[in-house]
Structure 1
Amino acid sequence: MRRLVYGMNATLDGFVSAPGDDLGWSAPSDELFAWWLDEELRVDLLLYGRRLWETMSSYWPTGDEHPDATAAQVDFARNWRETPKVVFSSTLERVGWDARLVRGDAVAEIARLRSGDGGPIRVGGATLAGAAMRAGLIDEYTVVTHPVLVGGGTPLFAAAGRRTGLDLVETRTFPGGVVMTRYATRRG
């Protein structure tokens, strides 16, 4: 069985984006960006909801071609293009960049993918992750908390609908007061 990981940047007040889908508060330091790259290199499959897919696919297919791209950004873009992706959406007509579109039952498809063989799967997007949380499918939560309060937006944890015990696995501090916490879901 594969591990399903939900990892996102978040504000201290618990949002993954500020009102208007503003992500301006989340610009990573070089050290944090390199850490995210290491995380992504360990993942065999990326799962996206529509909004996060639109954000990622609007930049990363050519992110390595930008004249000011760092070595880590070049590596991230290349890895992003090469990593298989599944996009869950009822409104998109098609997706590209080594992705396939799923219009049906997201929870059933995530459970099917998780039950197979292979390396970790990362679920991205608060709405999609919320559905996986309610179904009890997430094995690990990685929250990268930025020291900013935005007062509203898209919450990191959509209504979980259930109590879930977690065990702290790792913490790390990054420049600018950013803190990563990793938790494993307590099973049984």
Structure 2
Amino acid sequence: MRKLTWGMNVSLDGYIAAPGDDLGWSVPSDELFQWWSDRVGATGLALYGRKLWETMSSHWPTADQQPDVTPAQIEYARRWRHMPKVVFSSTTSKVDWNARLVTGDAVEEISRLKTEDGGPMDVGGATLAAATMRAGLIDEYAIVTHPVLVGGGTRFFPTLGHWVNLSLVETRTFPDGVLLTRYETRR
């Protein structure tokens, strides 16, 4: 059974994006950027919702060719391009960069993918993650909390109709007071 993780940068008040999809508050330190890059390198399959796919695929395929690119950004771009991806969308007609498109039921497909052999899976995108949370498919939460209150926007956790019991498996402090907490779902 493959492990499914939902991880994002989160404001202290629980948002992954401020109003207007502003992410300016979550610019990572070099150390945190390397942590995210290492996660991409260890991901067996990334699951993207349409909106996050559009954001990532508009930047990372050619990010290593931009002026003033850092070695860490070059490494991340290469890892991202090579990482297998599944994009879930009913409005997107084509994907590339080692990705395949699923237009049907996301929860059904992710449930099927979890039963396959392979490395760990990461879910990306608030709407897709919310559907997987509600279906009880998330095995781990990687919450990278930034010391900022943004006051609104896109929430990390959706409203759930049930409790989800978690066990803390890791904490780590990054520069600028950023805190990683990783939790596994208790089944």
Partner of 2:173: 173
Task: Output the TM-score relative to the length of structure 1.
Answer: 0.97
Deviation at 1:40, TM superposition (A): 1.3
1:89-128 maps to which residues of 2 (within 5 A)? Answer: 89-128=89-128
Matched, 1:25 2:25: yes
Aligned-pair CA distance for 1:142: 0.2
1:161, CA displacement in angstroms?
2.6
Alignment of 1:1-20 (within 5 A): 1-20=1-20
SS at match of 1:79: helix
Residue matched to 1:150:
150
| CA drift at 1:41 | 1.0
Which aligned pairs between 1:72-91 and structure 2 lie closer than 5 A? 72-91=72-91
Structure 1: unaligned runs, 5 residues or longer: none
> Whole-Å Cα distance in 2 between the matches of residues 76 and 160 of structure 1?
33
Aligned to 2:63: 63
Distance in structure 1 (CA, Å) of the matches to 2:88 and 2:71? 30
Alpha-carbon distance in 2 for matches of 1:119, 1:5:
12
Aligned residues: 187
- CA deviation map 1:81-129 (0-9, x unaligned): 0111011111111111111111110000000011110110000111101
Measured after TM superposition, the shift of residue 47 of structure 1 is 0.3
2:123 is paired with a residue of what secondary structure? strand
RMSD: 0.8
Deviation at 1:162, TM superposition (A): 2.0
For residues 131 and 7 of structure 1, the distance between their equivalents in structure 2, rounded to whole angstroms, comes to 15
2:186 corresponds to? 186
1:130-179 per-residue CA deviation (whole Å, 9 max, x = no partner) reads 11011111100000001111111010012233211000000001111100
Instruction: Report the 3-state secondary structure (helix = DSSP H, G, I; strand = E; otherwise coil) of the residue aligned with 2:62.
Output: helix
Shift of 1:38: 1.1
One-letter code aligned to 1:147: P
Q: Percent identity?
A: 67
Partners in 2 of 1:18 and 1:60 — Cα distance? 22
Equivalent-residue separation in structure 2 for 1:94 and 1:122 (angstroms): 21
| Paired amino acid for 1:162 | H
SS state of the match for residue 60, structure 1?
Answer: coil
Length-normalised TM-score, structure 2? 0.98
